[in-house]
Chains A and B, each alone.
Chain A
Amino acid sequence: AQTVTQSQPEMSVQEAETVTLSCTYDTSESDYYLFWYKQPPSRQMILVIRQEAYKQQNATENRFSVNFQKAAKSFSLKISDSQLGDAAMYFCASSRAGGSNYKLTFGKGTLLTVNP
């Protein structure tokens, strides 16, 4: 079984500043993936970044990077140089790696506001 917890219902950041969204997880899987998804007001869920649990190196995608602490089961998302278009609901999620039924288990989300 997998659980994902996001303890920050809302966060705000000034444009061009950096913000970090927190996520903790629990899983019985030996190999798994972790994700951050963005859901803008238009509702379409978009993958921001993913991390393979067996890789120690933290994933980076342009202004988005993660801090993956496997022992602590922590997976935070850092957004650098925040832009107005980054305003959205952000969901942390996990799934097993390999095999079948790779369902996504989501947290409750963090609503990010970007102030001009």
Chain B
Amino acid sequence: ETGVTQSPTHLIKTRGQQVTLRCSSQSGHNTVSWYQQALGQGPQFIFQYYREEENGRGNFPPRFSGLQFPNYSSELNVNALELDDSALYLCASSLGQGSSYNEQFFGPGTRLTVL
């Protein structure tokens, strides 16, 4: 069974640029959640995708957007990068809805640095 993978591992961008981060969910999982973890902080929920539809969003501006594909992999796009976007971006996949508990399995993260 393949776990959650993310690419790239590290990324350096400059202010104003756009970035795309990728996540492959664990086999059989149809739900993907994205989190932003600033240095020294706990992860903050960005949004969640379930069967290719956005299913909840945290307190992040519209320049944070996402996609989920038919194979349930996902992308996180950030436009007009700001210095404060520098963080570790975590992707987590889970089995989906319909049960009371869905354990989220995390990927290793993408470290984004904005200069």
A interface residues, Cβ below 8 angstroms from B: 4, 6, 31, 33, 42-47, 50, 52, 91, 93, 97-109
Contact = CB atoms under 8 A, between A and B. Distances in A.
Contact of A102 (B41, B90, B102): B102
Given A101-B56, A103-B58, A108 B103 contact: no
Nearest to B96: A100
A107 B107 CA distance: 19
Interface of B: 33, 35, 40-45, 48, 50, 55-56, 58, 88, 90, 92, 94, 97, 99-104, 106-109
Contacts of A97: 100-101
A101 B102 CA distance: 10
11 contacts: A4-B42, A31-B100, A33-B101, A44-B108, A44-B109, A50-B103, A97-B100, A106-B35, A106-B42, A108-B42, A109-B42
A80 B48 CA distance: 35
Which of A31, A50, A104 has the most C-beta atoms of chain B within 10 angstroms of its own C-beta? A104
B56 A100 contact: yes
Which 4 pairs from chain A and chain B are nearest by CB?
A101-B56, A106-B42, A45-B106, A103-B45
Contacts of B101: 33, 50, 52, 97
A103 B88 contact: no
B31 to A, nearest CB: 9
A27 B40 CA distance: 24
Nearest to B44: A106
A105 B55 CA distance: 16
Nearest to B56: A101
Contacts of A103: 33, 45, 48, 56, 58
B108 A91 contact: no
Contacts of B40: 108-109
Contacts of A45: 43, 90, 92, 106
Contacts of B56: 100-101, 103
